[in-house]
Chain A
Amino acid sequence: MTAARAGRAFRMLLALVCASACTDAKPVQDVQPWPELDALFRQDTRWLGGDGAYSCDLGHNRVLWLFGDSLIARDASGNRDTAYFIRNSAAIQTGYDPARAFLAFSWGQTDGHPGSFIAERGDRWFWPGACVRAGAGLLIFGQWLRQTSPGQWGFTSVDSASLFIANPDADPGDWQPSDTAAPSFGSDPIFGTAAGLTADQLFVYGNRGASHDYVLARYSRAAAAIGDLTHPDYRTSGSWCTPGSSGSCTPSSIFSDGAPESSVHLDANRQIWLMFQTEGFGATTLAYRTASAPEGPWSAPISFYRPPASFDENAFVYAGKAHPEIAGGGLAVSYVPSRFSDDPRPSPADFYFPHFVRVSL
């Protein structure tokens, strides 16, 4: 009897071992750091870093980069300690191949010194989200925020933002962003976390709540091309609804526990939709989800790479997203390494710049 009990316990232990050993198959063929692409963002003596790093293809050999909080040096010395801190900046990449491309950064001017590229509105500042060129015009999504208490986390989202640029082929300094008058849900959900284009539709992802439940809106591409986002459809309970038609129509979650930032694009070779993100909070990994259609169903995130900075327990690595418009072999995926603000150690000089890996799927 003793032996039988022990045998049962042994089998239970083995079952536990086997069950917890069952992990995903390796989803990505290869991941390598992409130092040439990293270097592209370190060449400006005044732009000393920024997070976010959303990108979109403007056509004509140009790529728009959008950054959130950014550091702008006072002079060519490139001193971060005395740099201006602005809430967003932009850059135009000329050339799709990083080996031959160059970047021109843009920011605004406030009282004679560097200011945010998209200017503050009262006590509200703009953090960019996805951008997409659906036709002649350019849409820049994001959110308006304000500080509600001191400290790194003392901010709150106020509203989604969607701005239309009618002349994206011009120099960014000549852009005149206008609001699209897309329907607002206040701070919950925030739309613009990611965006994906098909031949005739624009899909705009948002997220809500602390668990970042993803929601989805859909627009006609033709309307989006002229900045008309006044007639969305929302994904709700597995189908689409149109506001104003019979019954209520509000977006509902398409999946839970998403990332606050991500990218969505169609892998044309495999005809699957890919969402890239960081996974977790703090010392995160890069991960992706897959879906057969923009509305899903989206898979659970599959981690595929731990950035070097995420080997530090106090790391704060975030802003994971893919940049399919970047050429040069492989898919460019970026993240931004930093540390939590209570870490007394001086940050390495390459923190707060976007870092890139080359992903072979």
Chain B
Amino acid sequence: MARRLLPLLGLLLALPARAEFLPELPRAITRTDTASRDAPVVELAYDGRAHAALGGELGLWRWQPRGWQVRWLAGALIAADNAQSRGPVPMELGRWQFGGAIAVQLPGADTASAWEFAVGLWRQQARTVGDFRLPDAFKADAIAFGGSGYVVEFDLALRRMLGPLHATARVSDRVHVPGFALLFGQRVWADAVGDALADNLSHQPSIDLTLRWPIAPGWQPVWALHGELFVPLDSFVTTRGYLRSWLGVALPGPRGELVPFAVLDVGAGAGLLINRDELRLGLGVRYVPR
């Protein structure tokens, strides 16, 4: 055992020469442009109901062996939504998630293009706030617990130029802990773990596409599309999903970037609204601190 640990010890001792702690960027390919509801940004939106999110990712450590870039990051998100109220302040439903990831940027990339693969462990939960109770009628094929659970996220992102546009594509899957039991055919264990963790999903695959046009330093049109599926643990439960697209103008400044946007939501709602089918058009503003 000691002989096996020696190389690891040597590696750890060698790290400080190549490692950098608390680097500025948590990922080589940012997720702040994504149209996902889980984007690590500060966001306010109104589409007949109010939505708010306060999220961020923090790079903790970067290691650069032979042209690779390995980043360790932590992130958290708190979001609030209204389910019924038309008021401007979201205060009926809450969602939050936190966790961390290791992101690996593949070597050989230039500043305009890059590949990045990340694996993360996240906890995500959805709750009603205060005494609010969802009035939605019971559906036997509904997803329980609003998509809560512990997830391992696999994420592959590509950034490159498309003519004058900065394009980012991302495919990812959040595999819920019970979903791993399913991978090995352990249905009974998957159900037991799902009950224990209040998790009714096996995984959440998603795709992202973002186009940014750096037409001027002070304003840059951005369009993003995010599609996500919620694949349930139980075969009798309906798989749900949503598409979200927004079009905005990024206004970079010394303290960050402000992005007013128009947004279209189609499909499952957020958190405990996961079983609602919605088609909503809204306006919002997003802030990404620098």
- Taking a contact as CB atoms under 8 Å apart, the answer to whether A313 and B156 are in contact is no
- Taking a contact as CB atoms under 8 Å apart, the answer to whether B182 and A26 are in contact is no
Q: Which of B140, B158, B187, B205 contacts A301 (CB under 8 A)?
A: B187
- Taking a contact as CB atoms under 8 Å apart, the answer to whether A302 and B196 are in contact is no
- Taking a contact as CB atoms under 8 Å apart, the answer to whether A20 and B182 are in contact is yes
Q: Contacts A283-B195, A300-B187, A308-B138: A9 and B236 contacting too (C-beta < 8 A)?
A: no
Closest-by-CB residue of B relative to A302 is: B235
Q: Contacts A280-B191, A285-B191: A6 and B236 contacting too (C-beta < 8 A)?
A: no
A280 to B187, CA, bound (A): 10
Among listed B89-97, B107-115, B249-257, interface-contacting one: B107-115
Closest-by-CB residue of B relative to A1 is: B108
- Taking a contact as CB atoms under 8 Å apart, the answer to whether B158 and A311 are in contact is no
A81 to B116, CA, bound (A): 61
- B34 on the A face (CB < 8 A): no
- Taking a contact as CB atoms under 8 Å apart, the answer to whether A279 and B142 are in contact is no
Q: Contacts A2-B107, A26-B236, A257-B188: A10 and B156 contacting too (C-beta < 8 A)?
A: yes
- A170 on the B face (CB < 8 A): no
- Taking a contact as CB atoms under 8 Å apart, the answer to whether B156 and A6 are in contact is yes
Q: Contacts A20-B179, A31-B140: A283 and B198 contacting too (C-beta < 8 A)?
A: yes
- Taking a contact as CB atoms under 8 Å apart, the answer to whether B236 and A305 are in contact is yes
The 8 A-B residue pairs with the shortest CB-CB distance in the complex, in nearest-first order:
A280-B195, A313-B198, A24-B235, A2-B108, A280-B191, A282-B195, A257-B188, A6-B115
A17 to B234, CA, bound (A): 16
A13 to B206, CA, bound (A): 11
A21 to B229, CA, bound (A): 11
- Taking a contact as CB atoms under 8 Å apart, the answer to whether B140 and A305 are in contact is yes
- B15 on the A face (CB < 8 A): no
A23 to B196, CA, bound (A): 20
Tell me which residues across on chain B come within 8 A of A306, comparing CB atoms: 140, 142, 144, 200, 234, 236-237
Closest-by-CB residue of A relative to B189 is: A257
A2 to B145, CA, bound (A): 40
A62 to B127, CA, bound (A): 46
A351 to B235, CA, bound (A): 26
Tell me which residues across on chain B come within 8 A of A281, comparing CB atoms: 192, 195-196
Taken residue by residue from 305 to 342, chain A's Cβ proximity to chain B (1 for < 8 Å, 0 otherwise) reads as 11010110100000000000000000000000000000
- Taking a contact as CB atoms under 8 Å apart, the answer to whether B196 and A282 are in contact is yes
Nearest chain B CB to A224 CB, angstrom units: 31
- Taking a contact as CB atoms under 8 Å apart, the answer to whether B231 and A20 are in contact is yes
- B246 on the A face (CB < 8 A): no
- B183 on the A face (CB < 8 A): yes
Taken residue by residue from 1 to 18, chain A's Cβ proximity to chain B (1 for < 8 Å, 0 otherwise) reads as 111011001100100110
- B117 on the A face (CB < 8 A): yes
- Taking a contact as CB atoms under 8 Å apart, the answer to whether B236 and A2 are in contact is no
Chain B binding surface SS class: mixed
Residue in B140, B194, B205 with the greatest tally of chain A CB atoms within 10 Å: B140
Q: Which of B109, B173, B202, B236 contacts A304 (CB under 8 A)?
A: B236
- A116 on the B face (CB < 8 A): no
Nearest chain B CB to A357 CB, angstrom units: 8
Interface size class of A (residues with CB under 8 A): 35 or more
Closest-by-CB residue of A relative to B184 is: A19
Tell me which residues across on chain B come within 8 A of A279, comparing CB atoms: 188, 191
- A70 on the B face (CB < 8 A): no
Between A and B, 17 residue pairs with Cβ closer than 8 Å are A6-B158, A10-B156, A13-B156, A21-B203, A21-B205, A25-B235, A28-B236, A279-B188, A280-B194, A281-B196, A284-B195, A300-B187, A303-B234, A303-B235, A306-B237, A308-B138, A313-B145
- B154 on the A face (CB < 8 A): yes
- Taking a contact as CB atoms under 8 Å apart, the answer to whether B192 and A280 are in contact is yes
Q: Which of A9, A17, A282 contacts B205 (CB under 8 A)?
A: A17
- B9 on the A face (CB < 8 A): no
Nearest chain A CB to B265 CB, angstrom units: 23
Q: Which of A9, A20, A282 contacts B156 (CB under 8 A)?
A: A9
Q: Which of B138, B154, B191 contacts A303 (CB under 8 A)?
A: B191
Taken residue by residue from 214 to 258, chain B's Cβ proximity to chain A (1 for < 8 Å, 0 otherwise) reads as 000000000000000001101111000000000000000000000
Q: Which of B115, B117, B183, B195 contacts A19 (CB under 8 A)?
A: B183
Tell me which residues across on chain A come within 8 A of B195, comparing CB atoms: 280-284
A9 to B138, CA, bound (A): 40
Taken residue by residue from 265 to 291, chain A's Cβ proximity to chain B (1 for < 8 Å, 0 otherwise) reads as 000000000000001111111010000
Q: Which of A9, A26, A303 contacts B117 (CB under 8 A)?
A: A9
- B268 on the A face (CB < 8 A): no
Nearest chain A CB to B106 CB, angstrom units: 5
A311 to B236, CA, bound (A): 15
Closest-by-CB residue of B relative to A30 is: B140
Closest-by-CB residue of A relative to B197 is: A313
- Taking a contact as CB atoms under 8 Å apart, the answer to whether B183 and A13 are in contact is no
Tell me which residues across on chain A come within 8 A of B200, comparing CB atoms: 306
- B80 on the A face (CB < 8 A): no
Tell me which residues across on chain B come within 8 A of A17, comparing CB atoms: 173, 203, 205
- Taking a contact as CB atoms under 8 Å apart, the answer to whether A13 and B173 are in contact is yes
Nearest chain A CB to B269 CB, angstrom units: 15
Tell me which residues across on chain B come within 8 A of A59, comparing CB atoms: none
Tell me which residues across on chain B come within 8 A of A28, comparing CB atoms: 236
- Taking a contact as CB atoms under 8 Å apart, the answer to whether A20 and B198 are in contact is no
Closest-by-CB residue of B relative to A28 is: B236
- A35 on the B face (CB < 8 A): no
A311 to B140, CA, bound (A): 10
A257 to B173, CA, bound (A): 29
A152 to B187, CA, bound (A): 28
